[in-house]
Structure 1
């Protein structure tokens, strides 16, 4: 009979479940989840951009109502925010593409190693 330390016995079943979940996630669910994560992140960037552009929009509208025209530098802030948003979209799509490619390259062995690492991390964290 194997002499297992007493603190590991209650953690074996959760570690096994985490290992199986990590394997399934890495093998079959990672690529579709990464596609949705990319879309969601791009939507989040768009929401932040809208929040950043709203004060400029309100200010230029108020300026137009009062004076009939806006200051020449009024659109500089909006252009800067849109440039940063475009850079953010490019960054998100590049990182998501790299993660999808890496997930596509994982085979059964890679997913199994990921599951073993997840289970080992859970067992390691249950140490006294």
Structure 2
């Protein structure tokens, strides 16, 4: 009877140990799977960070391009305004030169009249 009880207990211990071995194998498999999933997620995270950096550089590039375009547009507007002012200044200078020539002609005529009046007064 003791022998039978001992065999039953030994059999039960082996069954329990086999159950633990099965659970341990499952846990080890889960651990390996989780480890692999963690590596994949780590690679995905690195790829996302790389994409984020690329997109940030691209955004910075587009913003810089917009600033350059805006600066070029302003430079063009300033150049046009400068040309307009220079043309107006040239017109003003031409008008002043014309007025100067008219005034010189009038002064010469006045000098000739004064000379003629003096000549007549002396004669």
Greater relative contact order, per chain length (Cα 8 Å cut-off, separation 6+): 1
Question: So what's the TM-score if we normalise by structure 1?
Answer: 0.30
Question: So what's the TM-score if we normalise by structure 2?
Answer: 0.31
